[in-house]
C-alpha cells in the first residue's frame, strides 16, 4: 500500500467515504498518519455507521453497547481492574491509557460516524456513589462540547442522580429529532432540582417525558405542552389541576399525563367546580368533552396522591358517570 504522504488527499477522502464504518476504524489503526487524517476529516466525508441504538453504562466496568439496523449487538467492555478493552470477547490491554478516556473516545468516534437518526440512546451514569459532578459525567460533557454536534435520536434515556448528570447529556441531543425523554434516578425517592432541565429546548420540544423521581421546581406549566408525561410533582392544587384540564381539552395531540404528588393534601374545591365525582373501588373519576370532538373524552382519575389525565373513547365512560360539556373557562 502506498503511504499516505504519496496519496492525494482527495483520493483518500473518496476511498474513506466509500468504505463502511468498521473498515474506516481498521484503517485508523494502520498508522499514525491514517489516524490523524481520518480524525481531521469533516463529518460529511465519513461513512454513516448506521446504528439504531447506542448505550453506555458505568458500573464496576464501563460498557458500551451498540445495535445496528439488523439488530446485531456489539459490546465493548472497559475494565479498570486489568486496564483493558474487550470487544465481543477479544481483549486488548490499554497499557498506560486511562480506561475512562478510551471509552469516551470510542463513543466520540461512533457518534462522529453516525449520520442517521438513532432510535434510542441510553446513558447510565450510575453516579450515586460519586460527587454531584461525577468524573464520568464531566468526561461525557467535555466530549460533547468538543465534537460540537447534537445526537440525532428519537428516544433519550439518562440515568443519573443529579441535575448536573442529566444536563451533561440532555442539551447535546438534537431537539428536532427528539421525541421521548426518560430521566431515571437510581433511587425513585430522590429529590432532583429541575430548574435548568425544564428550560432546555429539548424539554420544550419533546413529545413525551418521564421523570420518575421527586422533581423539584417543576410546575404544571412545564408539562402542559406534552402529549405524554409521567413523574412526581412536589405538590398540586386545584388551580393546577384545572389549568391542566383547560389545556388538555384543547390539545388534539394529548394522550396522557400521570403524576404522583409528594406532599399530599386533600384538594378542596374540585366537586364544587367540576361536580360530584364518579366513584369506582378506590378511584374518583371526572369526565370532560374535548374541543371539536364527539368521540374523545378527557378523563381524570385520582386516588389519594395519584392523578391520571388521559384521552379515552366516549364508549369507555362508565354508565352513570357524568360527562361535562366542553368549557375552556
Confidence (pLDDT) at 308: 97
Measured torsion, CA atoms of residues 139, 140, 141, 142, in degrees rounded to the nearest 10? 50
Q: 311 near 296, Cβ under 8 Å?
A: yes
pLDDT at 128: 46
31, 4 in Cβ contact below 8 A? yes
| Strand residues in the chain grouped as ranges (E) | 51-58, 62-68, 73-79, 84-87, 90-93, 118-124, 153-159, 180-184, 191-193, 208-216, 228-233, 256-261, 278-280, 283-289, 296-303, 306-313, 323-324
Counting residues of the chain whose pLDDT is more than 70, the rounded percentage is 89
**From the candidate CATH numbers 1.20.1280, 1.20.120, 3.40.1440, 1.10.3210, the one assigned to the domain spanning 1-47:** 1.20.1280
More confident call, 49 vs 259: 259
pLDDT band at 258 (very low <50, low <70, confident <90, very high): very high
Domain boundaries, the chain: 1-47, 48-218, 232-329
- The stretch 111-135 carries a mean pLDDT of 77
Count Cα neighbours of 36 within 13 Å in the Cβ-side half-sphere: 5
Confidence at 3, pLDDT banded by 50, 70, 90: low
Q: What's this model's pTM, rounded to 2 decimal places?
A: 0.86
Residue 28, pLDDT above cutoff 70: no
Lowest mean pLDDT among 96-105, 114-123, 126-135, 305-314: 126-135
Question: Quick check: 170 and 202 in contact, CB under 8 A?
Answer: yes
What is the pLDDT, as a whole number, of residue 106?
86
pLDDT digits (tens, 9 = 90+) for 315-324: 999 999 999 9
User: What is the per-residue pLDDT for 195?
Assistant: 94
Cα gap 105→122, rounded to integer Å: 17
Tens digits of residue pLDDT in 132-190: 567 888 888 888 888 888 899 999 999 998 898 899 999 999 999 999 999 998 887 88
Return the closest-CA partner of residue 53 out of 156, 196, 190, 187: 156
Segment 202-244, tens digit of pLDDT: 999 999 999 989 999 999 999 999 999 999 988 888 899 999 9
Question: Worst-scoring range by mean pLDDT, 12-16, 235-239, 312-316?
Answer: 12-16
User: Is pLDDT above 50 for 285?
Assistant: yes
Task: Supply the pLDDT for residue 65.
Answer: 92
Amino acid at each position: 500500500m502506498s503511504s499516505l504522504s504519496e496519496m492525494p488527499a482527495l483520493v483518500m477522502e473518496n476511498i474513506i467515504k466509500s468504505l463502511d464504518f468498521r473498515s474506516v476504524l481498521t484503517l485508523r489503526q494502520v498508522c499514525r498518519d491514517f489516524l490523524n487524517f481520518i480524525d481531521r476529516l469533516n463529518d460529511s466525508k465519513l461513512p454513516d455507521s448506521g446504528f439504531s441504538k447506542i448505550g453506555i453504562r458505568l458500573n464496576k466496568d464501563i460498557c458500551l453497547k451498540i445495535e445496528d439496523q439488523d439488530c446485531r449487538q456489539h459490546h465493548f467492555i472497559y475494565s479498570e481492574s486489568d486496564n483493558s478493552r474487550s470487544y465481543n470477547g477479544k481483549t486488548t490491554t490499554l497499557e498506560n491509557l486511562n480506561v475512562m478516556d478510551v471509552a469516551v473516545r470510542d463513543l466520540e468516534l461512533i457518534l462522529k460516524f453516525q449520520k442517521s437518526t438513532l432510535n434510542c440512546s441510553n446513558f447510565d451514569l450510575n453516579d450515586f456513589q460519586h460527587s454531584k459532578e461525577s468524573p464520568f459525567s464531566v468526561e461525557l460533557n467535555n466530549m460533547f462540547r468538543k465534537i460540537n454536534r447534537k445526537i440525532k435520536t428519537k428516544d433519550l434515556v439518562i440515568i443519573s442522580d443529579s441535575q448536573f448528570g442529566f444536563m451533561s447529556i440532555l442539551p447535546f441531543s438534537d431537539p428536532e429529532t427528539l421525541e421521548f425523554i426518560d430521566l431515571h434516578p437510581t433511587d425513585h425517592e430522590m429529590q432532583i432540582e429541575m430548574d435548568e432541565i425544564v428550560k432546555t429546548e429539548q424539554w420544550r420540544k419533546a413529545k413525551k417525558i418521564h421523570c420518575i423521581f421527586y422533581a423539584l421546581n417543576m410546575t404544571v406549566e412545564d408539562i402542559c405542552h406534552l402529549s405524554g408525561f409521567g413523574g412526581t410533582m412536589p405538590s398540586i392544587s386545584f388551580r393546577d389541576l384545572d389549568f391542566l384540564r383547560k389545556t388538555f381539552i384543547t390539545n388534539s395531540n394529548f394522550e396522557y399525563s400521570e403524576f404522583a404528588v409528594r406532599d399530599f393534601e386533600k384538594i378542596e374545591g374540585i366537586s364544587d367546580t367540576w361536580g360530584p365525582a364518579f366513584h369506582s373501588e378506590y378511584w374518583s373519576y371526572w369526565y370532560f368533552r374535548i374541543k371539536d370532538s364527539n368521540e374523545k373524552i378527557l378523563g381524570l382519575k385520582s386516588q389519594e396522591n395519584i392523578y391520571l389525565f388521559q384521552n379515552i373513547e366516549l364508549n369507555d365512560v362508565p354508565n352513570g358517570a357524568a360527562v361535562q360539556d366542553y368549557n375552556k373557562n
